[in-house]
Structure 1
Amino acid sequence: MVKRLLIGILSVVSFGAYAQLETSADFRRQVFKKETTFGISGHSRGYAINARFMNFTDGYTKQGLEIELTKLRHPKEVKTPNNQSYGTSRGFVYNRINTFFSLRGGYIREKILFDKTDKGTVSISLVTSGGLSLGLLKPVYVVVTTETAPISRNEIVRYNPGDPLQSNVQGEANFFKGTGETKFYPGVYGKVGFNFDYKVSEKKVTALEAGVIYDYYFREVPIFYERDGGEDINWAGFFQFYVAFNFGFRKN
């Protein structure tokens, strides 16, 4: 049974890969030279925005440059609501001492596996990409209440869960606080996914994409606070499942 199923799948893939540009009497696919798309995505570690600039090498294959900015969360992150008595603070993540973003840039290739047979159908493509991943680690600042009898006051400090004076955290400070202290973590990434293009107009791109991404940085990324002698909860690699919505245009 498994053997028959594998033979059937391989037969369908082979047929889709070698399908003719004119797939039926009612539908003729136009071939373009360039494609530009933009997208938003959610993944198992956060969210991302991307841009792709590709050239067609033939009727079924395109390749080019991918740029993506993504937020990478630690799996232990649980956001705590802010103290409403201090209105300008935000909720904060207990023990998260840094916020981590990644700017990816690399080569991308997309190949049609199953072509559209009519305007109402969907084409399915295999997407592969990889390149450099520049991590951006920004320290977290929080609003804490300090008491010097008989006066208490709020002040903004860099978050340090190991400091007993920071036991009364009201919430996270303004996001941009600490941007001047951002550190860079170079790395690499790889991505594999499937693109489902359900466009009606041949000149426009409207597609859903799903797949997996792996980022690896050349040193451990300290997102969470680690106590001396405690569990090692930071690492250098980040595996993610993602779903993206891409839109754009094609031209000659």
Structure 2
Amino acid sequence: MEVKKLFFVVFLLSGTGLMAQKKQPSESAVQRAQKKEERREKINQLIKQEEEGALIFNKQNAFSINLNTDGWGLKFEKGKYKTITSTNLMWLEFGERKHPKEERIPTLSSSGGFILISNYIYGKQNNFYYLNLGFGQQKLIGGKGNKNGIAVSAIYGGGITAGLLKPYYLEVQNQQTGLREEIKYDGTNEALFLDPSAILGKGGLFKGFGEMKFVPGGHAKVALRFDYGRYNELLSAIEVGVNASFYSQKMPIILLNKEKNFFFNAYAAFTFGRRK
């Protein structure tokens, strides 16, 4: 009888030990629980900041697609937090500026028994690209604590710009040899360059990049940015504003039109990025 009691006590103690061992969580489970709790706390902090209307961060990186009234642009932006309402900005933007009188003309031609469909811009002398390096500030006007959940900021600044003129090539039919050839405007071939009956289409896509001409200048801009990102760490915004650029010489784009070195446009940009 004593042996049975002893066996029962040993069995009970061993079973209790096994249950205690099973209930003790593993180290990996503890780490997962800690990470989950940290994520929950981070989200709660972001929600609290959003409710308070402040954009709290150390830096931000963003990309923009710009739709300009005279062309298009792609921009990369870096921001450095300065105060609760102020951020220092630096941006690099590349784009193309188009003349308001550009007109794309379709053409049909034959080669080797095939019908070729092409197009060209009548009278175009140069493609006008630009590269802007700018510095400025973003000032918070209204935080996300309002009813529509949108942070509104004013952006202003300026910097240097590089105007890049790439010769625009046309494919024409040589009146003497009857052969196809690619030409650019050089001041002596204006009659051929502007003769629709001789033009077969535009030149090759990369033709003229090796002859690009650099023209220095400066630029400035002011804008409003409407940030509708879900949390403060996400930058999702629409930006609207105006740009002004001035170049050290007049920029020839379309023949038979007045050349100028000052350009002014409006733009809308779709901006997306992250804050840290």
Which TM-score tier does this pair reach, normalised by the shorter chain? 0.7 to 0.9
Per-residue deviation at 1:159? 3.7
> Would you say the 8 A contact 1:90–1:173 is kept in 2?
no
Distance 2:169 2:64 in 1: 31
Worse overlay, 67-76 or 29-38: 29-38
Give the aligned partner of residue 29 of structure 2. none
Cα distance, 1:88–1:124 mapped onto 2, change above 3 Å: farther
Give the aligned partner of residue 37 of structure 2. none
Per-residue deviation at 1:90? 4.2
2:154 counterpart of 1:94: no
> Would you say the 8 A contact 2:79–2:90 is kept in 1?
yes
Per-residue deviation at 1:121? 1.0
**Which residues of structure 2 form unaligned runs of 5+?**
1-45
2:211 counterpart of 1:181: yes
Cα distance, 1:34–1:94 mapped onto 2, change above 3 Å: same
> Would you say the 8 A contact 2:64–2:272 is kept in 1?
yes
Larger Rg over CA atoms: 2
Cα distance, 1:137–1:88 mapped onto 2, change above 3 Å: farther
Worse overlay, 151-160 or 79-88: 79-88
2:89 counterpart of 1:64: yes
2:139 counterpart of 1:139: no
Give the aligned partner of residue 51 of structure 2. 27
Give the aligned partner of residue 179 of structure 2. 153
Report which of the two has the higher share of helix: 2
Give the aligned partner of residue 216 of structure 1. 246
Q: Secondary structure at the match of 1:164?
A: helix
> Would you say the 8 A contact 2:106–2:117 is kept in 1?
no
CA offsets per residue over residues 71-102 of structure 1, 9 Å max, x none? 11111111112335367774211111100001
Question: For residue 170 of structure 1, what is the amino acid of its counterpart?
Answer: L
> Would you say the 8 A contact 2:124–2:168 is kept in 1?
yes
TM-score between both structures, scaled by the size of structure 1: 0.81
Per-residue deviation at 1:23? 11
Give the aligned partner of residue 8 of structure 2. none
2:129 counterpart of 1:129: no
Give the aligned partner of residue 6 of structure 1. none
Distance 2:77 2:165 in 1: 25
Worse overlay, 199-208 or 154-163: 154-163
Distance 2:267 2:235 in 1: 19
TM-score between both structures, scaled by the size of structure 2: 0.74
Per-residue deviation at 1:160? 5.8
**Which residues of structure 1 form unaligned runs of 5+?**
1-21, 227-231
Distance 2:121 2:87 in 1: 42
Worse overlay, 158-167 or 177-186: 158-167
Worse overlay, 59-68 or 163-172: 163-172
Question: For residue 85 of structure 2, what is the amino acid of its counterpart?
Answer: Y
Distance 2:222 2:56 in 1: 24
Distance 1:61 1:155 in 2: 56
Worse overlay, 97-106 or 117-126: 117-126
**Percent identity over paired residues:** 29
Cα distance, 1:90–1:66 mapped onto 2, change above 3 Å: farther
Question: For residue 50 of structure 1, what is the amino acid of its counterpart?
Answer: K
Give the aligned partner of residue 61 of structure 2. 36
Cα distance, 1:140–1:124 mapped onto 2, change above 3 Å: same
> Would you say the 8 A contact 2:49–2:232 is kept in 1?
no
2:69 counterpart of 1:54: no
Distance 1:98 1:90 in 2: 19
2:198 counterpart of 1:164: no
1:234 to 259, 265, 269: 259
2:100 counterpart of 1:75: yes
Paired residues, what number?
Answer: 223
How large is the Cα RMSD of the aligned pairs? 2.5
Per-residue deviation at 1:201? 2.0
